[in-house]
A and B are shown apart, each in its own frame.
Chain A
Amino acid sequence: MAQTEAKTLAITGNGAVSLAMKQVDPDVVAAYPITPQTDVVQNFSQYVANGDVKAEFVTAESEHSAMSACIGSAAAGARTMTATSSAGYALMVEVCFVAASMRLPIIMTTVNRALSGPINIHCDHSDSMLGRDSGWLQIYNEDAQEAYDATVMSFPIAEHKDVRLPLMNMYDGFIISGAIGPLKPLSAEQVQEFIGQAPDYPRLLDAKNPVTMGPFDGLHGWYFEQKIAQNIAMDNALDVIQDTYDRFYELTGRRYEHLMKYRMDDAEIAVVVANSAAGNARGIVDKLRSEGIKAGLIKLRTFRPFPVKQYAEALADVKVVGVMDRADSFGAPGGPLYMEVLTSLYQEGQRAKAVNFIYGLGGRDVFPQNIEDVYRRLDAIAKGEQDAPRERIYVNAKGM
């Protein structure tokens, strides 16, 4: 295993991702600025202006246009990237479905920010969860390092012949996007070697082998079968993602899995959480462990495809699991992550008690004490001192 010897940089999450984009040097970036994503593409446009990259930078007039330009670019055969947040992502969603159904491996950074309203620029996961069913691969990242690594790893995953799907990388707006943290970057040469050449797939601008893309399904009725094919690609992606993570480990020594387990081996209570809140949760796990409470943590990484078997395995011996959602699905049995975890348990015939905690909406702080309260509640349920509530528990909400 070759460890990288690069020195550690102090850099924002957005800075880390734009550095990865610079090292990838895609053919085309088409984007529109929105808080808190702005400096991802702003930095990149500077790299273009300085001649640091060969990429074409398209300043679109909206996110709908940005994603449409990405679709045209990827269909033409160009390696294509973009970035967005919140309302910008919501405006893209119509065409995001087209990108996925045309099987175009576009790579997008979605810096998590709340959807309106009331209008709110702070972090929650309601934007990317809106695209849950759009057919994009979704990877959630805790910090700048993970966001950087994920950007590099995206290409071999999305472009793999058995996958060929667009991919979204998420990290928390402001908490990660704007805060400075440590980053061990690869060299540009290492990045280029890792991602390799973009594979040769049928493209619009191949005059010798002309093709038709995005045709109207009015003649023979194949829409349904194409949708099934997208699901097959999602299934295939589970192995491709893990293989790519494993290859990245060989290069960097940084280990990634679909879900990141922390002190789960003999855990009786566990929390499932995505993105930056996982850092606080690890600290609480350590505190509770020192008291003899068998607490563990699962950090979400791969959300689409959802690794059902891995969740069931990780939670097989857990008595009570608390699923923390930073987005809600109004009127649903719980938040989106809660429903996925519950379904995973049910499909594998397991009946651990599960409690849904909604936290951090619109950037509401989640303090270590809040997460400790979550664990204490799970512990009380595990000891039979409390029943497991069926209703959502709102963390650090006022007047509850």
Chain B
Amino acid sequence: MTDKDKTTKEMKWDISGIKNWGPHDHELGSLIPEAGNARYYHTGGWRTEFPIRDEETCTQCLFCYFFCPDSSVLAENQKVTDFDYDHCKGCGICAKECPADAISMHPESEFAERVKK
């Protein structure tokens, strides 16, 4: 099963045949009859650099969480836990804004080795 198939399956809107839909099959005005489905579209692949947070240096100020334009800093109980690498586009704003210099950016070529273990 490819990532795209998984995406299709998670959505309530059945678009399994969309590749062959004609003009009469679409909702008027490109409407998608459910909300909040942008998360099913993984945009992490646009990245050329990815962030890594050093747990030891991090002061849990949550600046990165609030500055991230793509809601890709994950937090639980008011503490940063991880990045959402499926949607992080590698803009580096988190690294730039971090007052403790706890976040560093790395070339995407190292992603598989350093994050996807």
Contacts and interface: CB of A to CB of B under 8 A. Distances in A.
Does A associate with B in a complex?
Answer: yes
Interface of A: 101-104, 164, 201-202, 209-215, 217-222, 225-226, 228-229, 232
A207 to B, nearest CB: 9
A338 to B, nearest CB: 30
B23 A228 contact: yes
Nearest to B32: A212
Contacts of B33: 202, 209, 211
Contacts of B23: 225-226, 228-229, 232
A226 B36 CA distance: 22
A229 B23 CA distance: 5
A212 B34 contact: yes
Contacts of B38: 212
A229 B26 contact: yes
B29 A103 contact: yes
B71 interface: no
A209 B33 CA distance: 8
B21 A211 contact: no
A232 B18 CA distance: 19
15 contacts: A102-B30, A103-B28, A103-B31, A164-B28, A210-B35, A211-B31, A211-B34, A211-B35, A212-B36, A213-B29, A225-B23, A226-B26, A226-B29, A228-B23, A229-B28
Contacts of A212: 31-32, 34-38
A222 B13 CA distance: 16
A225 B32 contact: no
Contacts of B41: 218-219
Given A219-B41, A222-B21, A229-B24, A102 B29 contact: yes
Interface residues of B, number: 22
For the complex of A and B, 3 pairs with smallest distance between CB atoms: A210-B35, A103-B29, A212-B32
Nearest to B37: A212
Contacts of B30: 101-102, 213-215, 217, 222, 226
Given A212-B36, A222-B21, 12 more contacts: A102-B30, A164-B29, A202-B27, A210-B34, A211-B35, A212-B37, A212-B38, A214-B29, A214-B30, A221-B19, A229-B24, A229-B26
A231 to B, nearest CB: 8
Interface in B3-51: 15, 18-19, 21-38, 41
B94 to A, nearest CB: 24
B29 A220 contact: no
A214 B27 CA distance: 12
Contacts of B37: 212
Nearest to B41: A219
A213 B31 contact: yes
Nearest to A225: B23
Nearest to B29: A103
- Residue of A101, A220, A222 contacting most chain B CB atoms (<10 Å): A222
A348 B117 CA distance: 68
A225 B19 contact: no
Contacts of A103: 28-29, 31
Contacts of A201: 28
A220 B34 contact: no
B15 to A, nearest CB: 7
B13 to A, nearest CB: 9
B34 A225 contact: no
Nearest to B22: A225
